Amino acid sequence: MSGRLAVVGLGPGDARWLTREAEAAIAAAAALYGYGPYLDRVPSRPGQARHPSDNREEAARAAAALRHAAEGASVAVVSGGDPGVFAMAAAVCAEIEAGPQAWRTLDVVIVPGVTAMLAVAARAGAPLGHDFCALSLSDNLKPWELIERRLDAAAGVGFVIALYNPISRARPWQLGAAFERLRQRLPASTPVMFGRAVGRPDENVVVTTLEGADPATADMATLIIVGSSETRAIARPGRAPLVYTPRAVQGASA
């Protein structure tokens, strides 16, 4: 069996953050699978089949792509951002583990991409310049109480925090609760960045403080970065402030 499955990160936004490897992996595939809006970002090629699916169908999409690859085809699953960060690569691995033994013999290649927090950080300055964590705020797949413990721990030891999946229609209150929680452990002046649709024409980046952070600023296309107590905003005339977290912790010798 010569089937091949590539799980390809497109980066956030438009094609500017596509890597050469991702372009090559997409071009080489006989069939593409993915969430519809991500597939729409990939130019079509004659003879290449396209199988769009809905946002919440990761497991079914992964299984369909694996079945197709197991027939001997070269298949690519496209993913926004990096496929390994809260995205399709883990869904594909889970299906391989649960599926027929033959799936374990497939050639599986993960093609990394620029994940959303890196693109939002780049727009703001360098808020991830020191130790940080990435946390999905969705309590669909884990208990909310665990998310609270992770927020407390991260803020308590000085990790900058990138929040993925901050809000949705089905999860309207969680982001506000997270900000409240963080306000108990971090200074009111801590920089907070909302990056919406970064790299797309409707991109919007808002830099505020933890005190001023309004959950209504976020939607499903938003990635949020909450600084640590070390994160700083440099005022610039006529420009947005430049937010960064110094590499050195204050008081440490260089």
Show contacts with its own copies in window 160-219 (CB under 8 A): none
First to last CA, the chain: 55
244 DSSP assignment: E
Contact code string over 128-157 relative to its own copies, x by CB under 8 A: xxxxxxxxx---xxxx--x--xx--xx-xx
> How far apart are the C-alpha atoms of 163 and 44, rounded to whole Å?
33
Structure tokens given for 150: 């992770």
Among 115, 174, 217, 222, binds its own copies (CB under 8 A): 115
| Sole window of 45-53, 76-84, 201-209, 214-222 interacting with its own copies (rule: CB under 8 A) | 76-84
Closest to its own copies by CB, 217 vs 231, is 231
Give the whole-angstrom CA distance, residue 167 versus residue 148: 15
Query: Which DSSP symbol is given to 12?
Result: S
Give me the least distance between CB of 209 and its own copies, in Å please. Answer: 18
- Residue 233 CA from chain centroid, whole number: 24
Binds its own copies by CB under 8 A, chosen from 5, 18, 65, 192: 18
* Cα distance between residue 199 and residue 137, in whole Å: 22
Task: Report the 3 state secondary structure along 163-224.
Answer: EECCCECCECCHHHHHHHHHHCCCCCCCEEEEEECCCCCCCEEEEEECCCCCHHHCCCCEEE
The region of 29-37, 40-48, 112-120, 210-218 touching its own copies under the rule CB under 8 A is 112-120
Our CB check for its own copies shows the closer of 188 and 235 to be: 235
Question: Which of 80, 82, 192, 193 lies at the binding interface for its own copies (CB under 8 A)?
Answer: 82
Rg from Cα positions in the chain? 20
Looking at the Cβ atoms of 69 and 85, the one nearer to its own copies is: 85
Q: CB-wise, 171 or 232, nearer to its own copies?
A: 232
Among the residue ranges 26-34, 40-48, 109-117, 170-178, the one whose residues contact its own copies (CB under 8 A): 109-117
Give the one residue of 5, 29, 66, 121 binding its own copies; rule: CB under 8 A: 121
Strand duo 74-79 + 107-111: pairing: unpaired
CB 76 within 8 A of CB 42: no
243: β partners: 125, 233
Among the listed residues 94, 177, 197, 205, the single contact to its own copies using CB under 8 A: 94
How many chain residues are in contact with its own copies, going by CB under 8 A? Answer: 80
Task: Choose which of 29, 64, 69, 114 interacts with its own copies (CB under 8 A).
Answer: 114
Q: Beta partners for 236?
A: 239
Shortest distance (Å) from residue 58 CB to its own copies = 8
